[in-house]
């Protein structure tokens, strides 16, 4: 009960003056293999005051704190809520090639942008001048008002990001929308890693989801890398045999 009030209360404060609130989070940023995935979830004041948020939001948590079964159950409920038009939920993916090209921070921003674009394009947040009395019929028909929505992104502010946003450190533990986005990202990535496990047997992707567990490190040292491994992330592992958890991913 207290947690439900905490998450909803935070979002109700953040949404004041806006028609919507979009939470954004990622999964897979610190993994040795596989894509980075972002989730974006749009909620409204009506949703935050509605039955689901007031009675069931207490089950939502940072995705890392939930079991796979709990995440899948919530995912199914999100799909139903989206089908009913109560929320919008999208995900974006940046693959290993994009991670190698852009670095992990750039790829994370790309995945977040793709998730957000599934809800609104960046230009929807740019201030516009309404057509005046001298505007043509075509100009009036083409006019789209600026979207009234605040974007909350888990973590620190992102430089050179096309969407105006509010950074929220540990946002998945403070905001309902961000926590929901973290579940969307995690479930999506887990499913992708399960498929990669079938394509690249022997590494245990279905178990550790590409993270630097002892079993995964041993498999890489035994089998070598596959195309889903991130070269930059493996460099120190092969050179020094250190714990990837100690690597600087930024």
What tens digit of pLDDT does each residue of 9-26 get? 999 999 999 999 999 999
Q: How far apart are CA 84 and CA 183, in angstroms?
A: 19
Nearest-angstrom CA–CA distance, 39 and 228:
21
Specify the pLDDT at position 249: 34
Paired tokens of 54: 């007031």
The answer to whether residue 139 sits within a structural domain is yes
Q: Is residue 66 assigned to a domain?
A: yes
Tokens of 60: 């939502």
Q: Which residue matches tokens 């740019």?
A: 126
CA distance 230 to 194: 17
Decide: 115 and 90 in contact? Cβ < 8 Å.
Answer: yes
Average pLDDT over residues 120-149: 73
Q: Specify if 61 maps to a domain.
A: yes
Q: Looking at residues 92-107, what average pLDDT do you find?
A: 97
**153: in domain:** yes
Per DSSP, helices labelled H in the chain are: 2-14, 45-48, 51-56, 68-83, 96-117, 137-142, 176-199, 205-208, 214-223, 231-240
Split at pLDDT 50, 70, 90, the class of 142 is low
Residue 208 resides in a domain: no
What pLDDT score was predicted for residue 239?
A: 67
Phi (first) and psi of residue 36, to 5 degrees: -105, 140
Q: How many domains does the chain have?
A: 1
247 belongs to a structural domain = no
List the CATH number of the domain containing 138: 3.30.420.10
* Distance, CA of 93 to CA of 35 (rounded, Å): 7
Residue 181 has pLDDT above 70, yes or no: yes
Residue 1 — very low, low, confident or very high, per pLDDT cuts 50/70/90?
A: very low
**24 is in which domain, residue-wise?**
2-199
Q: Residue 58 falls within a domain, yes or no?
A: yes
User: Does residue 243 belong to any structural domain of this protein?
Assistant: no
């Amino acid at each position: 009960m207290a947690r439900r009030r905490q998450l909803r209360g935070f979002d109700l404060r953040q949404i004041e003056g806006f028609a919507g609130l979009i939470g954004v989070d990622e999964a897979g940023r610190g993994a040795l293999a596989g894509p980075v995935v972002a989730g974006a979830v749009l909620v409204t004041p009506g949703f935050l005051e509605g039955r689901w948020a007031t009675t069931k939001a207490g089950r939502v948590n940072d995705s890392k704190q939930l079991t796979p079964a709990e995440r899948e159950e919530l995912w199914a409920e999100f799909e139903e809520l989206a089908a009913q038009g109560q929320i919008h939920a999208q995900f974006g993916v940046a693959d290993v090639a994009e991670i190698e090209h852009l670095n992990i921070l750039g790829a994370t921003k790309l995945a977040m942008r793709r998730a957000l674009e599934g809800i609104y394009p960046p230009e929807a947040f740019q201030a516009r001048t309404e057509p005046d009395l001298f505007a043509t019929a075509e100009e009036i028909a083409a006019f789209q008002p600026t979207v009234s929505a605040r974007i909350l992104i888990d973590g620190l502010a992102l430089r050179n990001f096309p969407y105006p946003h509010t950074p929220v450190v540990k946002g998945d533990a403070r905001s309902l929308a961000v926590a929901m986005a973290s579940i969307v990202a995690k479930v999506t990535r887990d499913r992708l890693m399960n498929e990669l496990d079938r394509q690249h047997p022997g590494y245990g992707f279905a178990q550790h989801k590409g993270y630097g567990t002892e079993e995964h490190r041993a498999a890489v040292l035994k089998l070598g890398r596959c195309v889903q491994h991130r070269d930059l992330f493996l460099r120190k592992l092969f050179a020094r045999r250190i714990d990837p958890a100690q690597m600087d991913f930024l």
